[in-house]
Amino acid sequence: MKKTIFAAFLAIAVLVIAALAIIAYTNVLVYQFPAREPGEYYRAKEIVPAPPHGDSLKVMDWNIKFGGGRIDFFFDCYGDRVNMTPDEVTANLQGLAQKINQYDPDVLLLQEIETGSKRAAFVDMMQWLLDNTKLNYGVYASQWKVRHIPSRGMGKMNSGVAIMSKYPLQNAERIALPLMQTQDPLTRFFYLRRGILTADLVLPDDTVAVVVTHLSAYDKEGLRLKQLKILKNVADSLVRLRGKTIVGGDLNTVPPGTQKLKNFDDAVCKDDDFIEDDYTGETEFLAPFYRDYREVIPLEEYRLNEAKYYSHTVNGRGFWNRRLDYLFSNLWWTDGMVHQDESTGGMQTMPLSDHAPVTGTLRLKPPASPDNVKSVP
């Protein structure tokens, strides 16, 4: 009897140990993000004293396509490339840094930045860009952290979103977003895990909350709308807690009232995993943001000339054909621009990424006679 009981306990112990080992190995192979966790902090090797900001900040948002420039990767369906060489990564980063330094932002929000991925030759782009721009501080949150992806030779992956600034950043936090559920279990296990990164921008005489994210690109289940609602709740909470707030990123959807919603000229994918963009049912997804915040390109200006503010195309030999990238704030923008080419921004950006940077100057104090001042949440 005692031997039977002992054997049963031993079997249970073995199962528990095996289960714990599987859990531990799973988290080592594919990082399982908690609901909330601290962001990762960076700083430039040489800190450049930040100039007085006065009553305004220059803000820039950019999806930099993991330093891939216009290499035709397999997921774009224009080519079959998976990984880059070190020389390719360095050349692409030099172009990105040139544009960043040309605009000279006080605050930079980035998507698709990598910190040790095989496809980007294991370059830590956070450190590289801080060391090659006038920005001093950075915080990073991964959206895809896998020790080894067993597909197409992709290998190690660490790709995410970031905030960089001339001024110190504090209280950085990553907030998890819901995952896609319609994928098969194996694909979902190795796939991206989207999140929101928040941090406090500490100015000499003020503090501004900054939020950046990159929402799901391929959505067959209403996931993007769920993510947007969470993003809005996070932004509203920061307004109540911190006051001044900036929200930006690649939201992968279009402004309210957009006319061009599908049949884009760069859609060549036949693979169902990389479905053609169709925003027909999404025309009001961003309405709550436009209602409660100010976007760097006012909606009435966008509707007068959509093409002027397009910020994305998959085809590097074409031209920008839809707007997916945004900067919102409860403060006041004094200007806004999508840097499409030399005529809008002074430098060609098409060779640098599949997204054009979006910029604006943010006024930290209300104008003497603000027109059409919106209430904040």
Task: Give the structural domain span for 55.
Answer: 36-363
Tell me what pLDDT residue 373 has.
43
Report the pLDDT value the prediction gives residue 9, as an integer from 0 to 100. 46
Write the CATH number for 253.
Answer: 3.60.10.10
Q: What is the pLDDT of residue 238?
A: 98
- 191 and 299 both lie in a single domain: yes
The answer to whether residues 24 and 76 belong to one domain is no
224-255 pLDDT per residue, tens: 999 999 999 999 999 999 999 999 999 999 99
Task: Tell me what percent of the residues of the chain surpass a pLDDT of 90.
Answer: 77
Q: Is the same domain home to 3 and 71? A: no
Query: pTM score, two decimals?
Result: 0.90
Nearest to 94 by CA among 128, 124, 71, 60: 128
Find, among 56, 61, 77, 47, the residue nearest to 358 by Cα. Answer: 61
Q: What is the pLDDT of residue 14?
A: 36
Report how many domains make up the chain: 2
233 and 118 in a common domain: yes
- What pLDDT score was predicted for residue 18? 34
Say how many CA atoms lie within 13 Å of 364 toward its Cβ: 16
Residue ranges in the chain whose pLDDT is less than 50 = 2, 6-25, 372-377
